[in-house]
Amino acid sequence: MTTTSTSGTRPDDVRRHNRAALLRRLHVDGPSTRATLATALGLNRSTIKALVDGLAEDGVVEERVPAQRSGAGRPSLLVLPQPQAAVVLAIDIRVERAAMALVGIGGQILGRDSWRVRGSNEPREVFTKIMDYVGPLVAEQEVGPVAVGVSVPGVVRRADGFVHEAPNLHWKDVPLGAWLSHALKLPVHMGNDAELGALAEHLRGAARRADDVVYISAEVGVGGGVISNGRSLRGVGGHHIGEVGHMVVKPGGLPCYCGSRGCWETEVGERALCRALGIDEDSPVGAIVAELRALAAQGDQALERLDEFVEWLALGLGNVVNLLCPQLVVLGDLFTALPAPLVARIQETMRGRSLVSRALGGTDVVTSSLGSDAKLLGAAELAFETVLSDW
Amino acid sequence: MTTTSTSGTRPDDVRRHNRAALLRRLHVDGPSTRATLATALGLNRSTIKALVDGLAEDGVVEERVPAQRSGAGRPSLLVLPQPQAAVVLAIDIRVERAAMALVGIGGQILGRDSWRVRGSNEPREVFTKIMDYVGPLVAEQEVGPVAVGVSVPGVVRRADGFVHEAPNLHWKDVPLGAWLSHALKLPVHMGNDAELGALAEHLRGAARRADDVVYISAEVGVGGGVISNGRSLRGVGGHHIGEVGHMVVKPGGLPCYCGSRGCWETEVGERALCRALGIDEDSPVGAIVAELRALAAQGDQALERLDEFVEWLALGLGNVVNLLCPQLVVLGDLFTALPAPLVARIQETMRGRSLVSRALGGTDVVTSSLGSDAKLLGAAELAFETVLSDW
């Protein structure tokens, strides 16, 4: 433990700190008036003016008359972040597809690409494809990325992007972070996919107003990410918290990729959902979503086919809520397509099963608002964390 | 989000902050030399001298020649916290018994009492007993408590000590915090029992050197407490994280007090352990511990009787490690008595089941070093948090 000391704080440090805070605020909350920024950051107007003027000179923000005028009198100028002023490369590696995007300040996707991974997900091959596609993507834009964020469905070492294990990709001990930073000559930040999904939903999606959130994502695997007190929650060595898919809920149940049996993802992952829907286990995501929509259109009775699936989902969510005590659970990825009446039933059943939810007057369950972009946007945010704080 | 401002920091604030940090350091780590304190707190020797002199004048610390001299030359004086300088009242309410202690700076128990609760755990009755016993306990000491910490096996609201639900006590919506603070005219801080057990093991017990820890306690109920990055991890509204006993691991299993079925505590709690040992389900703790010792003395073969119990314990721990990613799991309370060969097998089986543990090279499982005092000492630490920071 060290004590804080004020003697070493110089005006330059304070100014840099305030500029980073202002930029972060614009990045997350979008265009704001100077007055809003002053209130939000607890700074006086002249300080805000100096900071905004400086950032405008550097081309990082612009001030404009708002399109919609409110009330009479001279309208307040809006401070707008300029997306191109800092661009990061976001990469989202999944079992089925990989996606890549250039994301500007404010979270705007400036350009994107994606390709099929299933069947060719050998680590070196995935890396080569990334390198093949990144050139053309960057060439399209007038500005190159200053940092890289990568989402991987596995256990990733934060410090250097070493992938310990990604069971559904059949990856083990893959130094992807080192390969990428060496090849791209950029800082590379890597995280677990669900952790990054949680981050994106918290900053830009369904969990914007909640500080204690669990995000659950389902594609082939089921993962979890936790926002605790407004921040990504991490365990030992900075590893992500919430490997919920490999929580055993059915001892002696189906074998799982991870080597265990009866893991939650064997009962609620993509394949289980296909089984419940009565379609082929390897159906592409589009077909599963279409089937869910068709079922929802047929009314509540048709949804009864998913009763057992709902039970397993609610059971696992009850465990998750008991262990992690969130105010909100966001169901992402494939779960985003779950029909509303089903989500309502999942919430109700979970509440009945969870002592913690009951004690706290009921945890909310909602679907993602970023859908399949959540992890890509989360990877961008991971890269932006350092970019904006070092501005 | 607000920015930090250094303009409001006055020398008095810095001095107060440093004094609190020094006191906290002595409280947690025990007697230290001035030189050690200077290094640990990042302060120069003259600042340390001024702080120690001030605290010595107030009777909070004393300087003494150490009993054991190391090396030649003049020995460094040790700065010793004076336990009586600030005393808190710690209360640990359990299903079977309740305990109460006066705890001084440094964590020393100055006096204690306990009484049987099982069969008479109606909230008002427990409160009355506390009030009956606190007078004589305080009268024994020459100094009264300045704050109160209370451990309850349930979901407790941090702000005012409102007990939402304590299933094994059959409590629901009990304003125990308000009753106590009104009657004792002291600040009362209440927390979940396993959360406080985790805090005590982290500060004074088996988890001193670990910053990411899950503490699992078993008596009638099974609870969990989490230390994340060196601090108590809390969920929405400051509620504790880690209600592991009510994680469903056996769908359709035995009914649980909480209203669900197949909760982990129905397979690994006190009653389940009694069943596994082949003794009466309502055996007192002493008898269970004696039976475990007798079994261990008979050798490894005799322990096979607990094979199924070990399986359930390892299965749940695997889930806990997957979800919470700790470096260390501390088994407390009744689990403290588990024979070492059994704990080794639990660790091994858990590691095989947990993707996260495997990826991180193996999570350690150890038994508590504070045993049944962990929650009582944790309750004291909860009270000390405010006492020491406001010094």
Q: Of residues A14 and A263, which shows the higher confidence score?
A: A263
Last residue within a domain, chosen from B53, B81, B109: B81
- The CA distance from A96 to the nearest CA of chain B, in Å, is 21
Among chain A residues, the shortest Cα distance to B24 is held by A1
What average pLDDT does the segment B133-154 reach?
93
Q: Is residue A350 included in any domain, yes or no?
A: yes
B28 touches chain A (CB under 8 A): no
Q: Are residues A152 and A264 in the same domain?
A: no
Give, in order, the Cα–Cα distances in Å from A351 to each of A47, A310, A364.
Answer: 48, 13, 9
A contact test, residue of B243, B308, B388 with most A CBs within 10 A = B243
**CATH at A179:** 3.30.420.40
Q: Is residue A2 included in any domain, yes or no?
A: no
Q: Is residue B294 included in any domain, yes or no?
A: yes
Under a CB-based contact definition with an 8 Å cutoff, are residues A323 and B323 in contact?
yes
Residue of A61, A133, A124 whose CA lies nearest to A90? A133
Please tell me the predicted confidence (pLDDT) of residue A1.
34
- CB-CB neighbours of A346 under 10 Å: 22
Residue of A196, A230, A322 whose CA lies nearest to B319? A322
Lowest mean pLDDT among A18-22, A316-320, B3-7, B132-136: B3-7
* Residue B154 one-letter amino acid: G
Residue A83: is its pLDDT beyond 80? yes
Which residues are paired to A88 by β-bridges? A103, A147
The pairing of strands A78-81 and A61-64 is antiparallel
| Contact flag A236-B360 (C-beta cutoff 8 Å) | yes
Residue of A324, A381, A76, A37 whose CA lies nearest to A208? A381
Which positions in chain A touch B38 (Cβ < 8 Å)? none
- Cα-to-chain-centroid distance, residue B340: 22
A242 touches chain B (CB under 8 A): yes
B259 touches chain A (CB under 8 A): yes
Q: Are residues B91 and B142 in the same domain?
A: yes
Q: Are residues A19 and A101 in the same domain?
A: no
- CB-CB neighbours of A173 under 10 Å: 10
Q: Are residues A358 and A383 in the same domain?
A: no
Token pair of B30, please?
């025990």
| Contact flag B41-A164 (C-beta cutoff 8 Å) | no
pLDDT > 90 in chain B, percent: 81
Q: Are residues A281 and A358 in the same domain?
A: yes
Average pLDDT in chain B: 92
Please tell me the predicted confidence (pLDDT) of residue A237.
84
Q: Is residue B94 included in any domain, yes or no?
A: yes
Distance CA A310, CA A349 (A): 8
Give, in order, the Cα–Cα distances in Å from B238 to each of A234, B92, B156.
Answer: 18, 20, 9
Please tell me the predicted confidence (pLDDT) of residue A70.
60
Which positions in chain A touch B351 (Cβ < 8 Å)? none
Q: Are residues B253 and B355 in the same domain?
A: yes
pLDDT digits (tens, 9 = 90+) for A88-146: 999 999 998 999 999 999 999 999 999 998 888 899 999 999 999 999 999 988 789 99
Split at pLDDT 50, 70, 90, the class of A389 is confident
Q: Are residues A216 and A303 in the same domain?
A: yes
Please tell me the predicted confidence (pLDDT) of residue B1.
34
pLDDT digits (tens, 9 = 90+) for A110-124: 999 999 988 888 999
Last residue within a domain, chosen from A28, A46, A81: A81
Q: Are residues B234 and B326 in the same domain?
A: yes
Q: Are residues A120 and A190 in the same domain?
A: yes
Q: Is residue B70 included in any domain, yes or no?
A: no
Residue labelled with tokens 């080597």: A259
Size of interface A-B (CB pairs under 8 A): 185
CB proximity list for B204: less than 8 A, separation 6 or greater:
B28, B107, B370, B377
Residue B271: is its pLDDT beyond 70? yes
Among chain B residues, the shortest Cα distance to A257 is held by B355
| Contact flag B260-A325 (C-beta cutoff 8 Å) | no
Distance CA A243, CA B149 (A): 34
Residue of B109, B91, B107 whose CA lies nearest to B99? B91
Token pair of A388, please?
């904006």
pLDDT digits (tens, 9 = 90+) for A319-377: 999 999 999 999 999 999 999 999 999 999 999 989 999 888 899 999 999 999 999 99
B residues 296-355 closer than 8 Å to A (CB): 315, 318-320, 322-327, 352-355
| Contact flag B324-A323 (C-beta cutoff 8 Å) | yes
pLDDT > 90 in chain A, percent: 81
Token pair of B283, please?
């055996």
Number of structural domains in chain B: 3
Q: Are residues A183 and A232 in the same domain?
A: no
Sheet arrangement for strand A171-174: A155-157, A162-166, A171-174
**CATH at A52:** 1.10.10.10
B195 touches chain A (CB under 8 A): no
- The CA distance from A127 to the nearest CA of chain B, in Å, is 21
Q: Are residues A235 and A286 in the same domain?
A: yes
Enclosing domain of residue A241: 208-369
B44 touches chain A (CB under 8 A): no
Here the ipTM equals 0.89
Distance CA A223, CA A154 (A): 9
Q: Is residue B1 included in any domain, yes or no?
A: no
Q: Is residue B331 included in any domain, yes or no?
A: yes
Token pair of B77, please?
């004086």
Which positions in chain B touch A25 (Cβ < 8 Å)? 1
- The CA distance from A290 to the nearest CA of chain B, in Å, is 31
Q: Is residue A127 included in any domain, yes or no?
A: yes
Residue labelled with tokens 């107003």: A209
Taken as a whole, chain B contains a residue count of 391
A residues 349-388 closer than 8 Å to B (CB): 352-356, 358-360
Distance CA A213, CA B44 (A): 43
| Contact flag A244-B21 (C-beta cutoff 8 Å) | no
Split at pLDDT 50, 70, 90, the class of A25 is very high
Under a CB-based contact definition with an 8 Å cutoff, are residues A193 and A94 in contact?
yes
| Contact flag B323-A247 (C-beta cutoff 8 Å) | yes
Which positions in chain A touch B315 (Cβ < 8 Å)? 248, 251
Residue of A371, A70, A362, A103 whose CA lies nearest to A217? A371
- CB-CB neighbours of A360 under 10 Å: 22
CB proximity list for A110: less than 8 A, separation 6 or greater:
A83, A84, A87, A101, A102, A103, A104, A141
Taken as a whole, chain A contains a residue count of 391
Torsion sign, CA atoms B378, B380, B386, B388? negative
Distance CA A312, CA A325 (A): 19
Q: What three-state secondary structure class fits B339? A: coil
Under a CB-based contact definition with an 8 Å cutoff, are residues A313 and A266 in contact?
no
Which residues are paired to B81 by β-bridges? B61
- The CA distance from A244 to the nearest CA of chain B, in Å, is 6
| Contact flag B40-A1 (C-beta cutoff 8 Å) | yes
What average pLDDT does the segment A180-196 reach?
97
Please tell me the predicted confidence (pLDDT) of residue A68.
67
Q: Are residues A214 and A322 in the same domain?
A: yes
Among chain A residues, the shortest Cα distance to B8 is held by A6
| Contact flag B322-A244 (C-beta cutoff 8 Å) | yes
The pairing of strands A109-116 and A162-166 is unpaired
Of A315, A326, A358, the CB nearest to B236: A326
Q: Is B49 left (phi over 0), alpha (psi -120 to 50) or beta?
A: alpha
- The CA distance from B61 to the nearest CA of chain A, in Å, is 20
